[in-house]
Amino acid sequence: MKKEIVYKVENNKTIIPQADKLESLYNILVAIEIRPLFYHDIADDIEDLKDKRQWDYYASSLYFLGVANKWIYNKHKFIFINELGSDILKSSDSKRSFINLAKKKLVEYDLFNLDENYLADKLENKYKLSGETISRRIQTIKAWIKIINEI
């Protein structure tokens, strides 16, 4: 009996990110422009992600930004660049464009704010997060805003 090969492209599920380093996200985007990456390859290819537990957070953050998609092939997950991601990298200052996209997304989700109480309320009530997840997401949001404000 011939084994059926199953593959599909999953739509991006919008989640609030948990990946503090925009620089690492940008580096992953550059890496997947060359070739789609098996999820665990991300940790091998990006210096800041030697802890393989972090790869899902970084992949999910790229989905949140809308620059990558997930492809599942025979139960193996790959991440690949999409049209928006390609457009960002083709821009004359791609890193700045990427950081501006991060700001746009935080503004769009009403999360471009450094007030922890405001963010906690928003994450709990609007996005239905709870407990430690809220504090980890706030940490990411604040790290992104710090980088955004530096450019």
The predicted pLDDT at position 6 comes to 43
Burial of 49: CB neighbours in 10 Å, binned 0-12, 13-18, 19+: buried
131-150 vs 22-34: helix axis angle to the nearest 10? 80
- Which of 116, 133, 126 is closest to 18 using CA atoms? 133
Distance separating alpha carbons of residues 48 and 25, to the nearest angstrom: 10
> Per DSSP, what are the bridge partners of residue 38?
78
Are 79 and 69 spatial neighbours (Cβ–Cβ below 8 Å)? Answer: yes
The residue behind tokens 């746009």 is 104
Mean pLDDT score of the chain, rounded to an integer?
84
- Percent share of the chain, pLDDT over 90: 53
Domain 7-107 bears CATH identifier 3.10.270.10: no
- Which of 138, 80, 70, 79 is closest to 106 using CA atoms? 138
pLDDT in tens, 9-61: 455 555 788 899 999 899 989 988 988 777 666 656 566 565 666 777 888 89
The pLDDT confidence band at residue 4, using thresholds 50, 70 and 90, is very low
pTM exceeding the 0.75 threshold for the entire prediction: yes
- Percent share of the chain, pLDDT over 70: 80
